[in-house]
A = this chain, B = another copy of it.
C-alpha cells in the first residue's frame, strides 16, 4: 500500500488528460483505469464517484496555476503589461503544440459542466478568479501608465474573456489565426489606454 499516494496522483493525471482531450462526459471509467494503470478498487477507494475525481482535477489546476502558469512568466518578464501578454503566449504555445486541438482545460470544463455540476462550477470559478487576480496585479503594477478611469479588476477579467474566447475560436477553426487576431486587438486596446493615460499625465507644454 506504500504506493497509494502515487496511485491517486496517477488517477488524477490520467483523468486530467482524458477530460482535456475528449471532455468529461465522454470519458469512461475503463479509459481512466487503463491510462492510470490502476485497478477499479483503487479508483473507488480514492474517488467514490466520477465527480470526486473531477473535483480533485480542478483543485489540482487551481493549486498549480501560480507555480506552473504564472510564476514562470513573471520570472522571465519584468514589465507588468508584457507579463500579461507573456501569460497569453503560454496558451498560444499549447495551441501550437497540439495543432489547435487543446487550449485552456478550465474553459472546456466550464462550458460542459457549469450548468449541471454545481461543485465543479465553483472550483472552475475559483480557477478563473486566481487567473484574473494574477492579471489584475500586472495592471495595478502598471497603473501609472493607464488612465485613472481604467478599473484593474474589470480589465483583468476582460483579458481572461479574450483568452477564453480566442482559444475557443482557434480550436473551432483549427488555426492559430483567431487567437493571434484577438491578442493583437487586445494589445491595440491596451496601447490606446496607455496613449490616453500618457496624454493625461504629460506636462503641459509651455505657452
Contacts and interface: CB of A to CB of B under 8 A. Distances in A.
A154 B181 contact: yes
Interface string A133-163: 0000000000000000000001101101111
A164 B162 CA distance: 9
Nearest to A156: B181
A93 interface: no
- Give how many copies assemble into the complex: 2
Contacts of A200: none
A108 B181 CA distance: 21
A101 B116 CA distance: 9
A135 to B, nearest CB: 13
Contacts of A182: 157-158, 161
Interface in A102-155: 102, 107-108, 110-112, 114-116, 121, 124-125, 128, 154-155
Contacts of A115: 21-22, 101-102, 171
Contacts of A185: 154-155, 158, 161, 189
Contacts of A22: 25, 115-116
A178 B193 CA distance: 20
A21 B182 CA distance: 28
Contact of A111 (B111, B166, B184, B196): B111
Contact of A165 (B155, B165, B173): B165
Pick the 10 closest A-B CB pairs, nearest first: A165-B165, A161-B165, A25-B25, A25-B26, A158-B185, A164-B165, A192-B192, A114-B171, A101-B115, A161-B182
5 contacts: A21-B115, A23-B25, A26-B112, A185-B189, A188-B189
